[in-house]
Structure 1
Amino acid sequence: MTDTAPPDDPTRTDPDRPAVLVPLAVLEGEPLPTGTPDLLANAHVVLSGYHVIPEQTAAEQARAQFGETAMAKLEAVAGALRDAGATVETRLVFTHDRETTIDRLIYEHDCLAVLVPNGTERVDSVLVALRGTVGVGRNTRLVAGLFAESDVAVTLYHALNDGETIADGEAFLTGVRSDLVERGMDPDDLEVVVEEAEAAVDAIAGRAESHDAVIMGETDPSVTTFVFGMPAEQVAERFLGPVLVVQRERPAE
C-alpha cells in the first residue's frame, strides 16, 4: 500500500472544525455525492481517494500507471469542497485492503467521523441518533462544529435501551441538548425525541426519512466493519441520504 499526501491545507487553523474522513473510489468514477459540500462546509475534510488493486499488483506500479489521473480527479473534488467553505487535505491510496486503509486514515488524521457518502438535495434538517455507545462529547463536537453557525434544524433522537424509561431517555437527551447550546447551537434549532423501539436500526431509518442527513455513533469496535456493512450502512441504504458515523476515541495505548 502506498499513498500520496500533498501538503496539508494551510487554512486549517480553526480547532473547532471537526475532521471528517470522506472515502471515494476515485478511479472507479465514484463522484462526490450531491449536497456533500454543503453538509461539510464547516468541517476539515480528509478526502481519501482510494483504489483497490489485485494482490499481485505492486502499489508503486499502480501509482506510476494511474496516479496522475487519480490525483487530478481527487483535486477536482477537493476544489468543490473548498469552494463551499471546508478546509481539505487529500490522500491518494493504492491498496490491497480497503478496510485497513480506512482504519489507518481515521486514526492518523484523528477523524471525528466518517461519511457514508450518499447524496441529498439540501441540508435543512439532521437526525442525530444517540445510543450512548460513543462518548457524547464526540457527538456534540461534531454537531456543533458543523451546524452551530447555520440554520439547520437538529433532532436529537434516542431509542430506549432495555430497562430504560422515557424519563431516562429524556434526561439523557436534555443533557446532550444543554451541551450543544453551550457549544453555540441555537436552542430553537434543537428538538428532542425519545421512543421505545424493538429494533433501533429500523427506528432510526424510519425517522431518517423526514431528514436530510443522519449522524450516529459506531457500535462495533471495528470501525470499518461498521462503516461498510453494519447499522450505519443499513440506515444509509434505507433512507438514501448521507450518514456521518461518529468514531470511538482511539485508546491511549
Structure 2
Amino acid sequence: MTDRPSVLVPIQVLEGESLPEGTPDLLAKAHVVLLGYHVIPEQTAPGQARMQFEEQALSRLKASAELLVEAGATVDHRLVFTHDAQQTIDRQIAEYDCTAALVPRALASVEDVLVAVRGTVGLDRLAQVVAGLFADGVNVTLYHVKSDDETAADVDVLLDGLTDRLGDSDFDTDRVDTRIDHDVGAIDAIAERAKAYDVVVMGESDPSLSTFVFGMPADQIAERFLGPVLVVQREPPADPDTTEADDRS
C-alpha cells in the first residue's frame, strides 16, 4: 500500500477562490493541507484582520475541506492572514513536509498524466505522488528534455529508475510510457506537451517552489495548459525559516 502523498492546496479564501471542479476527485487518495490565506496590507495587523474576517473565511475553508473528505482525502486545514503570500505558502510546505503543492485548475476527469522528469527532485518523491494519486487506470507519460551534458544512457537510467520505483509501489508499469525531447527549452517543451494531458506532475525548480510555481515560468505554462499542476518538492531543509509574521489557525 502506497502512503498518501501530502499535497498543499492554497486558495485565497476571501477572494472568491474555492476548489475548482474535479479537485476533490484528483486528490481523493492524498493527505491534503488546505491553506486558506488572505493577503492584508502592510499597515494592517494580522490579528486585526482575523477579528474582522475569521468567521467568514473559516466557513468557506471548512466547506472546501468537507468536499475533499467526502471524496476520500484526509485533510488538515489552516487559515492564515499574512503580508506575504509566497512566504506563507513556503512555510506551510515546510511545516507539513508536503510532498507536492497543487496549482489548482478545473478538470473533468483524469485519464492521462504528464510527468516532467527534470532531475531536480528525488525520484522517490515523484514516484510517491504518481503512484499514490493515479494508481487506478490512469495512463502516465514520463517526459524528459535532454540537456547538452546528458548522454542517452543518462536519460535511460533516469526514466528507467522512475519506472522501477513506480513498479515497486504496485503501479501498473504497462500504463507507463516515456518520451524524450532535445534541443528545446524545457519550460516551453513541457507546456507544449501538456496540452495533450489532463494533469502535469513536475519537480520543483531552483531555487524554491514559490519561484517556479507562482512566478514567471509557471505563468508561461499556465497560459497554455489550463489543467492542474502538481509540483513535487525536494526534501525539506533541516531548519525551515519561521520568521514570518502572520496570524494562523
TM over 0.5: yes
Q: CA deviation at 1:250?
A: 1.4
RMSD: 1.5
- The change in CA–CA distance for 1:102 and 1:159 in structure 2 (over 3 A counts) is same
- The change in CA–CA distance for 1:233 and 1:21 in structure 2 (over 3 A counts) is farther
1:90 paired residue number: 77
- Kindly indicate whether the alpha-carbon contact (under 8 Å) linking 2:2 and 2:131 is maintained by their aligned counterparts in 1: no
- The change in CA–CA distance for 1:101 and 1:15 in structure 2 (over 3 A counts) is farther
Q: CA deviation at 1:96?
A: 0.6
Secondary structure of the residue aligned to 2:238 is coil
Structure 2 gap ranges (5+): 240-249
2:141 paired residue number: 155
1:16 paired residue number: 3
Q: CA deviation at 1:223?
A: 2.3
Q: Counterparts in 2 of 1:47-66, with a 5 A limit?
A: 47-66=34-53
Match of 2:169 among 172, 180, 183: 183
Match of 1:29 among 16, 41, 45: 16
Whichever residue aligns with residue 77 of structure 2, its letter is: T
Which whole-Å CA distance do the structure 1 matches of 2:216 and 2:169 have between them? 30
Which whole-Å CA distance do the structure 2 matches of 1:164 and 1:15 have between them? 32
- Kindly indicate whether the alpha-carbon contact (under 8 Å) linking 1:218 and 1:232 is maintained by their aligned counterparts in 2: no
Match of 1:250 among 231, 236, 243: 236
Q: CA deviation at 1:141?
A: 1.1
- The change in CA–CA distance for 1:89 and 1:15 in structure 2 (over 3 A counts) is farther
Secondary structure of the residue aligned to 2:187 is helix
1:221 paired residue number: 207
2:160 paired residue number: 174
Whichever residue aligns with residue 210 of structure 1, its letter is: A
| Offset from partner CA, 1:132-190 (integer Å, 9 cap, x none) | 01111111111111122x11111111110113233432332111101101111001211
Q: Comparing 223-232 with 74-83, which one deviates more in the overlay?
A: 223-232
2:224 paired residue number: 238
1:80 paired residue number: 67
Which whole-Å CA distance do the structure 2 matches of 1:43 and 1:233 have between them? 25
- Kindly indicate whether the alpha-carbon contact (under 8 Å) linking 1:166 and 1:195 is maintained by their aligned counterparts in 2: no
| Offset from partner CA, 1:71-112 (integer Å, 9 cap, x none) | 000011111111111111100000011111111100000001
- The change in CA–CA distance for 1:131 and 1:42 in structure 2 (over 3 A counts) is same
Normalization by structure 1: what TM-score? 0.90
Which whole-Å CA distance do the structure 1 matches of 2:154 and 2:171 have between them? 23
Whichever residue aligns with residue 146 of structure 2, its letter is: L
- The change in CA–CA distance for 1:101 and 1:211 in structure 2 (over 3 A counts) is same
- Kindly indicate whether the alpha-carbon contact (under 8 Å) linking 1:174 and 1:192 is maintained by their aligned counterparts in 2: no
- Kindly indicate whether the alpha-carbon contact (under 8 Å) linking 2:117 and 2:202 is maintained by their aligned counterparts in 1: yes
Instruction: Calculate percent identity across the aligned residue pairs.
Output: 60
Normalization by structure 2: what TM-score? 0.92
| Offset from partner CA, 1:34-82 (integer Å, 9 cap, x none) | 1111111100000000000111111111111110010000011111111
Which whole-Å CA distance do the structure 2 matches of 1:109 and 1:118 have between them? 22
Secondary structure of the residue aligned to 2:162 is helix
Which whole-Å CA distance do the structure 1 matches of 2:206 and 2:66 have between them? 33
Which whole-Å CA distance do the structure 2 matches of 1:229 and 1:221 have between them? 12
Secondary structure of the residue aligned to 2:125 is helix
Whichever residue aligns with residue 82 of structure 2, its letter is: T
Q: Comparing 112-121 with 165-174, which one deviates more in the overlay?
A: 165-174
Which whole-Å CA distance do the structure 1 matches of 2:97 and 2:184 have between them? 34
Which whole-Å CA distance do the structure 1 matches of 2:82 and 2:74 have between them? 25
Which whole-Å CA distance do the structure 2 matches of 1:90 and 1:237 have between them? 29
* Higher relative contact order, structure no. (Cα contacts within 8 Å, ≥ 6 residues apart): 2
Secondary structure of the residue aligned to 1:188 is helix
Whichever residue aligns with residue 28 of structure 1, its letter is: E
Structure 1 gap ranges (5+): 1-13
Secondary structure of the residue aligned to 1:27 is coil
